[in-house]
Homo-oligomer: A and B are copies of this chain.
């Protein structure tokens, strides 16, 4: 049996979440999913909350890394890098940050870190973009797509994802 680490558990939790919905994201289900007993799972995460927190942090870190990578290769891309990272996160089926849904369902207070990050991004936009309001609008549209996909309201294969990705990145380029 292959060793299991926290990363594996987070992946497993995301899969359970995707397949069964937030309500059925149980410790038993996650444990079973990654071939662990519940005791073993709780050895890695002391409580369900701490697992959810880790899921959120993992999602944020992924997004941050993707944005940084893009920004490193493109000048003046504060806005574009955020759009890019959101789309990249979406496409990566393995690391779907559905944690959002579960966190909101379980305890809205878990969203504090997201709220903080949100404020930071907006501050940066105000500084670097000609039209911060429009810039924010593009970010919001991206999030609309993002959440629509996470929620299953939009078909993941819908061509609008690639269409709007291009469009949004073009519009972003004009703003910075």
Contact = CB atoms under 8 A, between A and B. Distances in A.
A141 interface: yes
A107 B21 contact: yes
Interface residues of A, number: 38
Contacts of A167: 133-134, 137
A13 interface: no
A99 interface: no
A164 B144 CA distance: 15
Q: Which of A23, A100, A133, A153 has the most CB of B within 10 A?
A: A153
Q: Which of A101, A107, A151 has the most CB of B within 10 A?
A: A151
B152 A115 contact: yes
Contacts of A160: 133, 136
A63 to B, nearest CB: 14
Interface of A: 21-23, 100-102, 104-108, 111, 114-115, 118, 133-134, 136-145, 147-148, 151-154, 160, 163-164, 167-168
